[in-house]
Amino acid sequence: MHPDAVNRLRNLSVSLSSGIQNLFDTRYAAMIQINALAVGTQAPRYYYPGLPRNYKATMSLRYSF
HEC string of the chain? CCHHHHHHHHCEEEEEEEEEECCCCCCCEEEECCCCCCCCCCCCCCEEECCCCEEEEEEEEEECC
Question: CA-CA distance, 56 to 19, in Å (whole number)?
Answer: 5
Distance CA 61, CA 8 (A): 13
* Residues 1-55: tens digit of each pLDDT: 677 777 778 889 999 999 999 999 999 999 998 888 888 888 888 889 999 999 9
> What pLDDT is stored for residue 4 in this prediction?
76
Give residue 13's pLDDT.
93
